[in-house]
Amino acid sequence: MTVRVPAKVNVQLSVGPLREDGYHDLVNVFHAVSIFDEVVAKESESITVAVNGKWSDQVPTDESNLAMRAARALAKHAGRTYGADLIIQKDIPVAGGMAGGSADAAGALVACNELWGLGLPFEDLMEIAGDLGSDVPFSLLGGTAVGTGRGEQLSEVPTGGTFHWVFALAEGGLSTPSVYAECDRLRAAEGAEVPWPQLNDSLMEALGTGDAYSLGAHLSNDLQSAALSLRPELAPTLDAGRQHGALGAIVSGSGPTCAFLAIDALHARDLALSLTTTGAAHTAVAAHGPVQGATLV
């Protein structure tokens, strides 16, 4: 069984105050884009993971692998012992703020549900996904959606068209917990009260009408300052994208991938070329969204 699952960009990521349980309440507007991992599940007596592709050397294949954890959680939910050899073809950056690990977990859930003939409904898979991580449910769902709570409580958002993006892929990753910790540190140093996260109505209108210019003007990410504090070299990359005509420039999630909104597909190709030829980005990839979530192929 082969499942294709997309990366995501957060077009709004608003982070509330630190909670007693160590999490933050979020308003998180997810948008699935056409950079995909593929997860293949083959019959086996045990659950194993192998990884191929450009990022394979950065992905663990032990008990910490989120796809392996997803397969085991699915088997536990079904109340039986199952096996599967999971083979992941990586194209989504690792620790890049694009939910690559969460995508693989979602792919494993769909692939193993099919391989094992469980026939579990989508709602059951979403429940298991929510226990695995805040981004996993959206990787199942795809499209565009608002996440609240820790980000796992999703409401689908209709969009009025296709948006075109360029992603500047940085060397090395950033740990999501480290970026949140830096966000908390910076806020504490400022001493200002952290407001409750609110959905940006103008951004939602732009998504609904397909207005790329308005969407670009309203992109926001409360983790961006923390990501730039940990990786200052990202700031010139963002500036370069704006100078080359990006409608909006933002760190994707916890970073370090930088996302640029383009006017159309041709502009996205030109922008990607400009970022790489000028040395502003090591690698730049054009993509579009929204796209479907985890899908059997």
- Known binding residue 130? Answer is no
- Known binding residue 99? Answer is yes
Going from N- to C-terminal start, the domains of the chain cover 2-157, 163-289
- Known binding residue 117? Answer is no
CA distance 146 to 290: 13
CA distance 104 to 86: 10
Mean of per-residue pLDDT scores for the chain: 94
- Known binding residue 96? Answer is yes
- Known binding residue 103? Answer is yes
Q: What is the reported pTM?
A: 0.94
Among 37, 104, 135, 222, the active-site one is 135
pLDDT tens digits for 238-276?
A: 999 999 999 999 999 998 999 999 999 999 999 999 999
Q: Please say if 54 is a catalytic residue.
A: no
pLDDT tens digits for 226-242?
A: 999 999 999 999 999 99
In this structure, what token pair is assigned to residue 59? 């992905």
- Known binding residue 246? Answer is no
For the segment(s) 163-289, the CATH number from 2.30.42.10, 3.30.70.890, 3.30.565.10, 3.50.50.60 is 3.30.70.890
Provide the CATH number for the domain formed by 2-157 in this structure. 3.30.230.10
Mean per-residue pLDDT, 127-150: 93
How would residue 173 be classed by pLDDT, with cut points 50, 70 and 90? confident
- Known binding residue 33? Answer is no
Q: Point out the least confidently predicted range of 34-43, 58-67, 209-218.
A: 58-67
pLDDT tens digits for 82-122?
A: 999 999 999 998 888 899 999 999 999 999 999 999 999 99
Q: Please say if 90 is a catalytic residue.
A: no
Q: Is residue 151 predicted with pLDDT exceeding 70?
A: no
The pLDDT value recorded for residue 153 is 84
34 versus 93: the higher-pLDDT residue is 34
Q: Is residue 178 predicted with pLDDT exceeding 70?
A: yes
Among 8, 37, 104, 211, the active-site one is 8
CA distance 198 to 146: 11
The pLDDT value recorded for residue 86 is 98
